[in-house]
Structure 1
Amino acid sequence: MASYLFVCSGGGHLSELHTLAEQLRIPVEEQFWATPEGGLSRSLLAGREVAALHEAPPRAVVPLLRNVLLGRRILRSRRFDAVFSTGASPALSILPLAVLQGIPAHYIESAARVDGPSFSGRILAKLPGVATYTQYRSWADARWRFGGAIFENYHVEDVPPQPIRRAVVSVGTQDGYPFSRFFESVVPLLEGVEVLWQTGMTDVSGLGIDGRPSVPHGELVAAMAEADVVIAHGGVGTALSAIEQGRVPILVPRRLAHGEHVDDHQVQIAARLAESGLAVHAEAGELTREILERAASRRVVAATERPSFVLQTSVPNPRSRWRRLTSLLGGLVPRRARG
């Protein structure tokens, strides 16, 4: 039986790769996953083999190196037919090792990267043997192929206006980046509304709401399916969950200038999804009841089947460059499993 390795960070990267695995038409029984352990991975990856990676915050070197060692063990454990990743840091830890073993390696840039590759993507694009893909035709080229996208199989329909009685508010769970501006602007708009508040690490103790740092994925998506409106940060995973439940989310992007994220990629994805009609883009402090009502009067409809993601037919692996990479990585490269 074939075996395929899927490598990614948690959160949105995991949600994306889970969706892309379906578009790649790879059966569940042939999937082996390497990702940090958490509620989302336990929910999405039920029935699949999973190896737990270390959490690796953006640009953190030590956990990246620790995941190199874990990747070495994983690649030694069996013969993989290909490796796939949407980033972030775990892709840098494991894809180069796979290339050095002659395993086809595919890096699919996150849909959050609307205008060009991420830091991880720029590094991996320079490595021989890694096939790189964008989810946007607008910046595809000879190095970055367009193979498909997670947001391509949806359209939006209007529904009769209705009172907003239930709402979901969600900002993800990444440590180190509170989003106080968001909650200070949202709370006054939802008086009298039944709200599920997923607040991450933001301190909301003075806002008079029942905030929960994390919510099990199954509970969160069930609440989204029943909600009249979903209001969220501009994270791809949260946006994808809302859209999959038929909701047009209001996306409020985190801003680098306010210390809310490592860069402004959430601004890009919020604007792009709003342009396609799949979301409403609003800045913190600019939210109004009219914006909530506009989002509540639209619904997302999915195609009957997700379109397939098309891979490059061949991935070059120049042996001379392998040797150069091997000299850089030294003894970290495992011998390929036999079986």
Structure 2
Amino acid sequence: MRIALIASGGGHVRQLLDLEPFWRSKDCFFVTEDTALTRDIAQRCKTYFIPHVALGQARLGKRFEMLRGAIFSVLRSLWIILRERPGVVVTTGAGSCYFPVLFARALGAKIVLIDSFARFQGPSAFARIASPLAHVRIAQSAQSARKWAGASVVDPFRRLGKATDKKEPLVFATVGATLPFERLIRLVDEAKRAGQIPEHVILQTGHCSPVEVDKDIETHEVLSFHDVQDILRRADIVICHAGTGSIITALQAGCRVIVIPRMFERGEHYDNHQWEIAETFANRGIVTMVGSDDDLGAALEKARASEPVRATLDQTELIGKLDGLVDRWAS
């Protein structure tokens, strides 16, 4: 059975990469957004790109941008699904994925909807909207599953203990793959100028308005996933937005992690779910969170005084579940 792996850019598609033991030997293809990470995926797997679309764009006053993206997404998604005709769809969301999932379901595909690991307290908007299309619904926290009718739960989070890797005096700051985040760039720049970051700084800025930063900061608009992994192996401290993909990848590398959650009130995201993510990880004692006071200096002091820990997402149970579903549907 041909399998469509459908996810928006950033952390959503990063979760599909964690499921590689499930899909790597199967007849499959990706449908996703065009980001540095997904361009890496396209070099080794059949990949189709669709426009970024999110309901939250309207909340930020970008209704025309949302409508334009939705129109192109409908046309592109229909072409992809008619061309590939998948028998199974595995999707982790979010908004841009609705149309390819809808068309695949209309043509008879079995749909597995895995809600984002970022949704600890309840299902995402995508999970609720796309739920009627799904044959199987999987939440990644027990609390979220209780609020999502028909969902089973597979919690992949595993804390692995103290990190003992030898690190360089290097700080890596990243805004992620999909949305601009000028506040993070400004806070890192101010901390560097104030002498609060004596280490060398590598800053991934993303696509944003030009921002002048301290001359000692090494800046990159975009970094490949391979380059990010190489930097993380060396970096002692990571400063990132509160996306689960960025956080988990840094924790897997044994870095001290400081998270700056995007705020809807500041026009930085479509809602405040990054606060939920940041607080959940901070309460577990494995990241340092910068609150609405923007006090990065205090967060740096706290992070340096803490022991780095390693954590990961163990997808063994979920991979086994997916293998069983595909075997059953193929028989």
TM range (shorter): 0.7 to 0.9
Cα contact 1:204–1:211 (8 A) shared by 2: no
User: Is the 2:137–2:151 contact (alpha carbons within 8 Å) kept by the matching residues of 1?
Assistant: yes
Correspondence for 1:251: 259
Unaligned runs of 5+ in 2: 58-65, 327-331
- For 2:172, which of 168, 172, 183 is the aligned residue? 168
From 84, 93, 96, the counterpart of 2:90: 84
In structure 1, the residue matched to 2:282 is: 274
Q: What pairs with 1:85-104 in structure 2 (closer than 5 Å)?
A: 85-104=91-110
Contact kept, 8 Å, 1:271 with 1:281, in 2: the verdict is: yes
Structure 1 residue aligned with 2:138, among 133, 148, 153? 133
The Cα of 1:302 is off from its aligned counterpart by 5.2
- The answer to whether the Cα contact below 8 Å between 1:165 and 1:193 also exists between their aligned partners in 2 is yes
The question of whether the paired residues in 2 share the 8 Å contact of 1:166 and 1:229 is answered with yes
After TM superposition, list the pairs within 5 Å mapping 1:199-238 onto structure 2: 199-200=205-206, 201=208, 203-208=210-215, 209-238=217-246
Counterpart secondary structure, 1:179: helix
* Paired residue secondary structure (1:249): strand
Q: What is aligned with 2:305?
A: 294
Indicate the structure whose relative CO is greater, using CA pairs within 8 Å and at least 6 residues apart: 1
Q: 1:308 aligns with which of 317, 321, 326?
A: 317
SS of 1:90's equivalent?
Answer: helix
Aligned equivalents of 2:202, 2:150: Cα separation in 1: 39
Q: Aligned residue pairs: how many? A: 307
- Unaligned residue ranges in structure 1 (runs of 5+): 316-339
Q: Which amino acid aligns with 1:276?
A: R
SS in structure 2 of the partner of residue 77 of structure 1: helix
Cα gap change, 1:12 to 1:291, in 2 (>3 Å): same
Question: 1:65, 1:93 within 8 Å by CA — same for their partners in 2?
Answer: no
Alignment partners' CA distance in 2, 1:44 and 1:56? 20
Offset, 1:17:
2.0
1:112 aligns to 2:121 (yes or no): no
Report the secondary structure of 2:113's partner residue. strand
Residues 1:12 and 2:20 are matched in the alignment: no
Structure 1 pair 228/5, CA: closer, same or farther in 2 (3 Å)? same
Q: Relative to structure 1, is the Cα distance of residues 221 and 176 closer, same or farther in structure 2, using a 3 angstrom cutoff?
A: closer
Q: Is the 8 A contact 2:77 2:100 kept in 1?
A: yes
Does structure 1 residue 52 correspond to structure 2 residue 49? yes
- Name the aligned partner's letter for residue 307 of structure 1: T
The letter of the residue matching 2:276 is Q
Q: State the shift of 1:203 in Å.
A: 4.4
- In the alignment, is the contact (CA less than 8 A) between 2:92 and 2:114 conserved in 1? yes
Q: Is the 8 A contact 1:158 1:299 kept in 2?
A: yes
Moved more, 130-139 or 169-178: 169-178
Task: Confirm or deny: 8 A CA contact 1:87 1:110 kept in the other structure.
Answer: yes
Question: What one-letter code is carried by the residue in structure 2 that aligns with 1:260?
Answer: E
Aligned-partner residue type, residue 86 of structure 2: F
Alpha-carbon shift at residue 229 of structure 1 (Å): 1.2
Paired with 2:97 and 2:83, the residues of 1 have a C-alpha distance of 18
Farther-moved stretch of structure 1 (221-230 vs 89-98): 89-98
Matched AA of 2:48: A
Match of 1:322 in 2: none
- TM, length-normalised to structure 2: 0.81
Name the Cα RMSD after superposition.
2.9
Distance 1:68 1:132 in 2: 23
Amino acid at match of 2:69: P
Q: Alpha-carbon deviation of 1:154?
A: 3.3
Q: Secondary structure at the match of 2:101?
A: helix
Structure with greater proportional helix content: 2
